[in-house]
Amino acid sequence: MTAKILNGKEIAKSKRADIKVKVDSLKKKGIIPGLAVILVGEDSASQTYVRSKQKACQTAGIHSVLIELPESTSEQQLLTEIERLNQDQSIDGILVQLPLPTQISEYAILEKITPHKDVDGFHPSNIGKLVIGERGFIPCTPYGILEMLRASEVHIEGKHVVVVGRSNIVGKPVGQLLLNEHATVTYCHSKTENLEMITSQADILIVAVGRARFIKATAVKKGAVVIDVGINRVQEQLVGDVDFHEVKEVASYITPVPGGVGPMTITMLLENTVQSASRRELWSC
């Protein structure tokens, strides 16, 4: 068996066209969706991510503002900047690029962003809404995975989803999101015993670990849907957490790296920003 490719790039392209239509419609009503991205320090991977986000905004017609702050920025200075953006009526979404320098508490910063501009979906209020199944901003990578599964008509209800990784930005929220879609969800992490025994029971296997080609074919059930979130640089090449060449022979669907989850993540950031701007439209009525 050779798996079908879940082509995130293609799905993202089609979703971005829909988003552009929504942006144009808001603009006709005098609303220009605005996203502020804050980058602290000079981490080169973060700079690359921020550039991609800005380029995507530009293509979609979303007004984007980049605020670059030095590595030495204090927590208080960053909190003050966020408060300014919280009050800025031209900004619908605020994103703080992670990771932050060690002198700044990530939690304090994410909590400062007003929940209705939290387009990354990391504010405790939005995470809480996800857990209780209420409407709020959904973190972009999990949201992108869900949209990709939907676009490919992968059946989720009743299926056994195994998530490897329990980070607050990917692992935990993607499991919760698919639980809300009525999957049966198992989480694995670095302390999990008999990992392969568990992953090989998954109908849908989601891997967000950050280790190159960590999941081998022996860890995957025949016919499983495999979503590879990982981005690892190996000899100047980007590879996922899944050994793509081995696993594609076992899985029914698989995401490539690059061109899988990554483009969907940025797309859902645009979607969340437009959703936020649409609320501005409701308030002005």
The catalytic residue positions are 53, 97, 120
Rg (CA), the chain: 19
Question: Of the two residues 210 and 278, which places its CB atom closer to ligand NDP in the complex?
Answer: 210
Give the whole-angstrom CA distance, residue 189 versus residue 168: 13
Shortest distance, position 198 Cβ to ligand NDP, whole Å:
10
Question: Of the two residues 31 and 138, which places its CB atom closer to ligand NDP in the complex?
Answer: 138
At 187 the three-state DSSP class reads strand
Nearest to 177 by CA among 123, 226, 125, 141: 141
DSSP 13-56: HHHHHHHHHHHHHHHHTT---EEEEEEES--HHHHHHHHHHHHH
Do 216 and 189 form a contact (C-beta atoms < 8 A)? no
Binding footprint of ligand NDP on the chain (CB under 6 A): 141, 164-167, 169-171, 188-192, 195, 208-210, 229-232, 261-262, 265
Question: Of the two residues 26 and 204, which places its CB atom closer to ligand NDP in the complex?
Answer: 204
Shortest distance, position 164 Cβ to ligand NDP, whole Å:
5
Give the whole-angstrom CA distance, residue 197 versus residue 62: 46
Shortest distance, position 229 Cβ to ligand NDP, whole Å:
4
Shortest distance, position 239 Cβ to ligand NDP, whole Å:
10
Question: Of the two residues 31 and 212, which places its CB atom closer to ligand NDP in the complex?
Answer: 212
Do 52 and 258 form a contact (C-beta atoms < 8 A)? no
